[in-house]
Amino acid sequence: MKGLFQRSIENKEKIVIFYIDNKNNVTQRFIRVISMDDNSIVALCYWRKKVRNFGFENILSAGPINKKVGA
């Protein structure tokens, strides 16, 4: 997962995470990682339209955003 976050930083790629918020709700967030340390990431959250901190312990999964290919 940290490799995906590092690629998001290097390539300024948008990714998706599933995250447990402070009310124990699972939310889907589209983010672009700005920086990362041992415990968390700092990312632009497209849903909130703000820079947010996401703790690794609350991130359930992360992945690239699948781009649709037209026929």
Domain residue limits, the chain: 2-64
pLDDT band at residue 66, thresholds of 50, 70 and 90?
confident
**CATH code that applies to domain 2-64:** 2.30.30.100
* Residue 68 confidence class, pLDDT cut points 50, 70, 90: low
Phi, psi dihedrals of residue 9, rounded to the nearest 5°: -65, -50
CA distance 17 to 43: 11
Helix (H, G, I), strand (E, B) or coil at 57: helix
Q: Name the pTM for this structure.
A: 0.85
Number of H helices, E strands in the chain: 1, 5
Helices (H), 1-71: 2-11
Residue 70 confidence (pLDDT) above 80: no
Provide the 8-state DSSP code for 48: T
23-52 tens-digit pLDDT: 999 999 999 999 999 999 999 999 999 999
